[in-house]
Structures are given as structure tokens and as C-alpha cells.
Structure 1
């Protein structure tokens, strides 16, 4: 059974009013195409659908460094080098 749910007024999109205070309504012609003429995407070349889909699907590992750590290791290469060295040290300690 579905019940009615009240939505807080702050989450309901506000209707825009024109200068006279009446609610603004668009006619059907305005709803069809709201892009400006200078945004003619048919003239743009080189777009590739799904260009970044595979890397996005593979995922990334992002880590937020604290300020003091970021100061000591300012680049991704520096962080990776330090972590690889730490991994080698840990491996030697186990052996």
C-alpha cells in the first residue's frame, strides 16, 4: 500500500514570476529549443561517444593527503616512490 508523503516546501522548485508578479509560463515553441544559435553542435567535429567510459568503469583510487604529507610529497610520483620503498622495507621485515 502506498501512502502520500509530504515534501518540505524547501525541496519544491520555486515557480518564477514575471515583472508583474504573475507566474511565468513558456509556450510550446520555447520548450522545443533553448540553446543559443552559437551552440550549434552539428558543426563541431571530433566528439567521441564514450571516450572516457572504459577508464571510468575501471575506477580510480584517489586519496586525500593531509597538508604536511602533501608538502613532503608534492607529486603523485613522489608518493608512489615513497610507498613502494615502504612496501620493500615491510617485505624485508617479514622475511
Structure 2
């Protein structure tokens, strides 16, 4: 799966890591829904760090179609709320 972090680039991520990422995504969804800004900041950072750690960066000149787009680390709670679906940022 190709994941884009807005403002950073793309990483190739093995689908086997989705379970771990979905746990963080579920937590992020709860924090956005409750308006927990501090928890949101912490969990968004953890989610993006996990994607960076588990994924393999693609070259900057690579233009692969992204199956998943994640917000930038400095995205606001409201911006992320607009990106969310019923499943959160990560489907499944």
C-alpha cells in the first residue's frame, strides 16, 4: 500500500501493519469526536511516526497513486475532522 503524508511524501507500507495503525486511528477518531486537542496531537504524532517507522520512503520524484492520504503533522483538529470517514483515516 502506498501512503502519502501531506507535505512530506509517500511511503510503501506492508498491509500487515494495518492492524497496528488501525488501533492508533481508532484512538485518533475518538479524540477528534470528543474535541480532545492534547490527545489528538499526541495520537496524530504517534500515527504518523508509526507510518514512517514501518514504511519505506519512496523517492521524491516518484508519483505513485496513494491508496491512503494522511494529514500533515501540523494539521488542525478541524482539518482532520474533515478528512475522517466513519472508519477514521484508515479504512478497515
> Does TM, scored on the shorter chain, surpass 0.5?
no
Say which structure is richer in strand.
2
The normalised TM-score by structure 1 is 0.24
The normalised TM-score by structure 2 is 0.24
Say which structure is richer in helix.
2
Q: Which has the higher contact order (CA 8 A, sep 6+)?
A: 2
